[in-house]
Chains A and B, each alone.
Chain A
Amino acid sequence: DIVLTQSPLSLPVTPGQPASISCKSTQTLMHSDGKTYLYWYLQKPGQPPQLLIYEVSNRFSGVPDRFSGSGSGTDFTLRISRVEAEDVGVYYCMQTKQPPFTFGPGTKVEIK
């Protein structure tokens, strides 16, 4: 199975400041079709998860441009250029390169 690890697991942030979360995979997430199947989701308190970034670096519809994704192979990063209060919640990376599909353990972002 592909294991995803995230760091940090807890991230206190100051509004207006940048933040970044790392996601590392035990295997490359690049498929033989040339695409890399790594996604980022945010689960706000009391809500279902929502898609932020698909296939490493593509912002989903309606996602603010302060969110960006980068990386390749086994190392990926989600960046928030200027954190806002509404960004609190748990951030998960997920891979769908091969089943069983797996999630990272989650990074809890909270305001300082």
Chain B
Amino acid sequence: QVQLIQPGGEVKKPGSSVKVSCTAPRETFRTSAIYWVRLAPGQGLEWVGQIIPFYGAANYAPKFQGRVSITADESTSTAFMEVSSLTSDDTAVYYCARGTPSGGPNYYIDYWGQGTQVIVSS
């Protein structure tokens, strides 16, 4: 079992930003990807983006491009997802998850963090 540690929750005002952390085992940072996926009320799972810490390169879903930034700090084995210009539509549980390499360019999610509840409300 691989543990990914996320904070419990955040309450933010519309128009502000939120930065969510995800601390993983050191080995995960050296060999895996970190995914970010969200679950909004009444909705299904939605891929936000991912980063491969070893390479430092991040990919984003088009709808989040320009408004989300995913980074990784190898010294603390912690990944971060920052969402700016928040609206009520961003109210969701944000999960980080480990992406395990399956050969070639593909990394698939095998373990998930407990999630961070982000509430956007005035």
Residues of B within 8 A of A49 (CB): 45, 95, 109, 112
Q: How far is the CB of B70 from chain A (nearest CB, A)?
A: 13
The one of A51, A99, A102, A106 that contacts B110, using a Cβ cutoff of 8 Å: A51
Which partner residue on chain B sits nearest A62 by CB separation?
Answer: B1
Which partner residue on chain B sits nearest A105 by CB separation?
Answer: B44
Main secondary structure of the interface of A (DSSP, over half): loop
Q: How far is the CB of B2 from chain A (nearest CB, A)?
A: 11
Residues of B within 8 A of A50 (CB): 112
A104 to B44: give the CA distance in the assembly, Å.
Answer: 8
A31 to B26: give the CA distance in the assembly, Å.
Answer: 30
Given A103-B45, A106-B44, A31-B112 contact (CB < 8 Å): no
Q: Is B122's beta carbon under 8 Å from chain A? A: no
Q: Is B66's beta carbon under 8 Å from chain A? A: no
Count of residues in A whose CB is under 8 Å from the partner chain: 26
Q: Is B85's beta carbon under 8 Å from chain A? A: no
User: Does B104 contact A48, Cβ atoms closer than 8 Å?
Assistant: no
Residues of chain A at the chain B interface (Cβ within 8 Å): 31, 33, 35, 37, 39, 41, 43, 48-51, 54-55, 60, 90, 92, 94, 96, 99-106
Q: List 19 A-B contacts (CB under 8 A).
A: A33-B104, A33-B106, A39-B109, A48-B113, A49-B45, A49-B95, A49-B112, A55-B108, A92-B44, A94-B45, A96-B107, A99-B59, A100-B47, A100-B62, A103-B44, A104-B44, A105-B44, A106-B44, A106-B45
